[in-house]
Amino acid sequence: MRRLISSLSLSTRKPHFLLLYHLHHTQTKPTQSSPIAHLNPSPIDPLNYLLTFIPQIKALSENPRNKNALTSLDSLLGQAHFLDSAASLIVIQYLCEIKKLGRAKDVFLKLKSEGKLKDCILFSLVYDCLVANSGIHDVEVVWNELCGNDLKIDVCDYVVYVCKFCGREEIKGIFERVVMGGRVLRRESYGALIGALCRENEGELGKEVMRVMGGLGIEVDCFSYYVLFRCFCRNGNVDEADWVLRELVKREFYIDICVYGNFLYGLCKTGKFREAKKLFLRLTKQDGVGGYKNVDFLKEGRRVIFQLKCEDNVPNILAYESYFRSLCDIGRLDEAEVLLKKMMNSRIVPEICVYGSFIKALFAADRDKDAIRFLQVEKKKGLVKVDEIASYVIKGLCQKRKLDEAVRIFDETSVLGEFLNRTNICNCILGNYWKEGRSAEAENLFRRLKEGNYGLRDASTYEVMINGYCNQSNGVKALLLFQEMVDRKIIISCALYEVIIRALCSCGSLREALKYLNDMVESGNMVYSRRWKIFISSTFAALEHGISSDF
């Protein structure tokens, strides 16, 4: 098998999709070295089944009373218990689209009885397919109907799960169903939703969840308020941040430098530089900041941040660093440089993140040479580890497509000592080699990582290489690396599964794509069915156009 792949890879005249096609059809029994050897065959070929099933669905969508199509559909569903998990999910999705919910529930029960899918995936099928347009209460009714005494999760658990593992669209979908009402969730579920929305910079939606909680008589915890405060500051919405801060003060939340630092950033981002400087001077001139004695002194019409009474000591370095990083992040480099010199003259040695903020700002202002010069100056001073600053410079040069310069600095710094995270830097360089089409150099660096010369390979290293091969239509090497990840028991992300599956589909290797899809589903990588539906419709569109199962 390895010899076959090598010979195929050397053939430059044969189109890549033919390589995969030849690979599939010349191998009658998968061997241990095959990149698809770990896949277990299904009792029914999923591709042939779906190619027969989908035309019946299309016929019924055009004419729900088509008796011939309905008879054929029921005949096919009689074999559904032989399907693997991925094909069953596709069947449920199509049945729900034409409102054949009873039949979809039968296939769902078959999936549940097999016990191969995580409960969160089963719940997502009820949530987004079987009860797609109703409130959360209806979802729970159907879930209870189908699972009865076998319930292991409920809607509250599912909300927390989606908020933890899913992205913006999935989280906003949960939000829409929650505000529809019909079911009172546990407080931790609302808290998880507020946190997830704020993570996606949807502070106004997070505030709406708090309003819903208030209407239900559920108290909002201080941590949720703090998360919302940070979100508003991050987005430069200081008026809303001030409102949240007032609520925190009322609840006797301890006000420390993290609160002041976030508000400093919010003031800078929204262009309120006079207020930001006023706050900074207050922090550095007072004996200390943090806390308050009571809330009676808070007046309306004046920012809460300037009304707080000081109690505990906070080192000046934290105030300097917060203000400096805020100035850097919004591109006020001249003021930041003055502040940095003042810090140095005061013998304040900043944390490495401060240097990183300054270097990022220099690159953002197209002052690449100044960033490199700053690295050289700090190297001579010897106050901080050079490799820590060099990491920021290397990443900045990579973003500017100055890869040779980045590699030169990487090599020079490697000679001096070990990077704290050399693998992370190598992954950055690897990704940019692929972006510039320098695949030979990417392969050489990966080989050196494999030999242990440049640190250890991690999941991100493999993802960069596999994405690179797929973008160059070199599916054979991509599949071999994917199999290496499986053999090494490296955790494979949903995103990487999608890359492999899309690559196989683009070459017409739908049967192999479906097998990998089944692996992805049964490993628990596909959590939320809305993402599942989008992925299926975009990736397997070829199925609906009747592509031959032989190709």
What's the average model confidence in pLDDT over 178-184?
88
Q: What is the pLDDT of residues 462-500, one digit of tens each?
A: 999 999 999 988 988 999 999 999 899 998 888 899 889
Q: Residue 453: which pLDDT band, with cuts at 50, 70 and 90?
A: confident
Average model confidence (pLDDT) for the chain? 84
**Counting runs of H as helices and runs of E as strands, what totals does the chain give?**
30, 0
Closest by CA position to 279, among listed 296, 297, 258, 261: 261
Give the C-alpha separation, 267 to 274, whole Å: 9
* Alpha carbon distances (Å) from 327 to 230, 256, 271, 340: 17, 20, 11, 11
What's the average model confidence in pLDDT over 105-110?
96
**Can you give the pLDDT at residue 11?**
33
**Can you give the pLDDT at residue 485?**
93
Has residue 430 got a pLDDT over 50?
Answer: yes
Q: Which residue has the higher pLDDT, 205 or 309?
A: 205
Give the C-alpha separation, 329 to 344, whole Å: 20
Q: What is the pLDDT of residues 328-362, one digit of tens each?
A: 999 999 999 999 888 888 777 778 888 899 999 99
> Above pLDDT 70, what percent of the chain?
84
**Can you give the pLDDT at residue 23?**
34
Has residue 25 got a pLDDT over 80?
Answer: no
CB distance 257 to 318 below 8 Å: yes
Q: Can you read off the two tokens belonging to residue 36?
A: 């698809």
pTM confidence score:
0.83
What's the average model confidence in pLDDT over 537-548?
63
The least confident of 39-43, 109-113, 506-510 is 39-43
Q: What is the pLDDT of residues 135-154, one digit of tens each?
A: 889 999 999 999 987 778 99
What's the average model confidence in pLDDT over 71-75?
95
What would the 3-class secondary structure string for 353-382 be?
HHHHHHHHHHHHCCCHHHHHHHHHHHHHHC
Has residue 543 got a pLDDT over 90?
Answer: no
Has residue 7 got a pLDDT over 80?
Answer: no
Has residue 439 got a pLDDT over 80?
Answer: yes
Q: Can you read off the two tokens belonging to residue 424?
A: 């992370």
Has residue 520 got a pLDDT over 50?
Answer: yes
**Can you give the pLDDT at residue 33?**
36
Q: Residue 545: which pLDDT band, with cuts at 50, 70 and 90?
A: low
Has residue 199 got a pLDDT over 50?
Answer: yes
Q: Which residue has the higher pLDDT, 179 or 296?
A: 179
CB distance 361 to 339 below 8 Å: no
Give the C-alpha separation, 426 to 448, whole Å: 10
Has residue 276 got a pLDDT over 90?
Answer: yes
Give the C-alpha separation, 133 to 183, whole Å: 15
**Can you give the pLDDT at residue 527?**
62
**Can you give the pLDDT at residue 131?**
92
Cα torsion through 543, 544, 545, 550, rounded to 10: 20
Q: Which residue has the higher pLDDT, 43 or 40?
A: 43
Closest by CA position to 530, among listed 94, 132, 199: 132
**Can you give the pLDDT at residue 345?**
82
Has residue 22 got a pLDDT over 50?
Answer: no
Q: Residue 254: which pLDDT band, with cuts at 50, 70 and 90?
A: confident
Give the C-alpha separation, 270 to 303, whole Å: 15
Q: Can you read off the two tokens belonging to residue 328?
A: 């850097």
Has residue 440 got a pLDDT over 50?
Answer: yes
Q: Residue 166: which pLDDT band, with cuts at 50, 70 and 90?
A: confident
**Can you give the pLDDT at residue 384?**
73
Q: Residue 28: which pLDDT band, with cuts at 50, 70 and 90?
A: very low
Q: Residue 39: which pLDDT band, with cuts at 50, 70 and 90?
A: very low
Sign (positive or negative) of CA dihedral 308, 310, 314, 320: positive
Q: Residue 530: which pLDDT band, with cuts at 50, 70 and 90?
A: low
**Can you give the pLDDT at residue 296?**
60
Range from 85-99, 194-208, 310-324, 461-475 that averages highest in pLDDT: 194-208
Q: Can you read off the two tokens belonging to residue 405?
A: 């310069």
What's the average model confidence in pLDDT over 45-73?
93
Count CB atoms within 10 A of the CB of residue 490.
17
Q: What is the pLDDT of residues 374-399, one digit of tens each?
A: 999 888 887 777 788 899 999 999 99
Q: Residue 325: which pLDDT band, with cuts at 50, 70 and 90?
A: very high
Give the C-alpha separation, 219 to 227, whole Å: 15
| Residue 458 backbone phi and psi in degrees, to 5 | -130, -175
For residue 404, the number of C-alpha atoms closer than 13 Å in the C-beta half-sphere is 0
Give the C-alpha separation, 256 to 249, whole Å: 12
Q: Residue 528: which pLDDT band, with cuts at 50, 70 and 90?
A: low
Q: Which residue has the higher pLDDT, 44 or 241?
A: 241
